[in-house]
Amino acid sequence: MPVRALVLGAMLAAVCWTAGCSMRRFAVNRIGDALATGGSTFETDDDVELVGEALPFGLKLIESLLAESPQHEGLLLAGCRGFTLYAYGYVQQEADRTAAEDLERANALRRRARRLFERASGYGFRALERRYPGMRQALERDP
């Protein structure tokens, strides 16, 4: 009887764990859907400084959600859009403003912007691959 109870307990724990994972994934996907389909206040807010300070948090939130649901097309597109916006609108622009006074800092900012653009590109290609499998390789072969 104790062995049977142990097996039954293990099975119950496995069912609960699986249900917990699927519920968490469901919640992540719902949040991802909302982020992907809702109008972006980051893109329409007139307080550019506030947006620039808030974007890193939003980007890390998207990446945290992608860690749970790595194939969510909407989150991938939101990551692509967000990292592109931040890299160009804040990091690259700061590099351009800084170049005349501090070339070393400007170059460091440009390197950072490049890394952010590469991250955006990675998310964009992953989203493209979800919809059109093999597209990345096709584009790399024949741009």
- Tens of pLDDT, residue by residue over 75-117, are 999 999 999 999 999 999 999 999 999 999 999 999 999 999 9
Q: How many separate domains does the chain show? A: 1
Nearest alpha carbon to residue 74 among 36, 39, 42, 38: 36
| Cα–Cα distance measured from residue 78 to residue 127, given in angstroms and rounded to the nearest whole number | 10
Between 21 and 111, name the one with better pLDDT: 111
Cα 12 to the chain's mean position, in Å? 34
* Count of other CB atoms within 10 angstroms of residue 130: 15
- Tens of pLDDT, residue by residue over 30-83, are 877 777 775 567 777 788 888 888 899 989 999 999 999 999 999 999 999 999
CATH of the domain at 16: 1.25.40.920
**Residue matched to tokens 């972006």:** 40
The tokens of 2 are what? 């104790």
What is the span of the domain harbouring residue 93?
A: 2-141
Report the pLDDT value the prediction gives residue 119, as an integer from 0 to 100.
Answer: 98
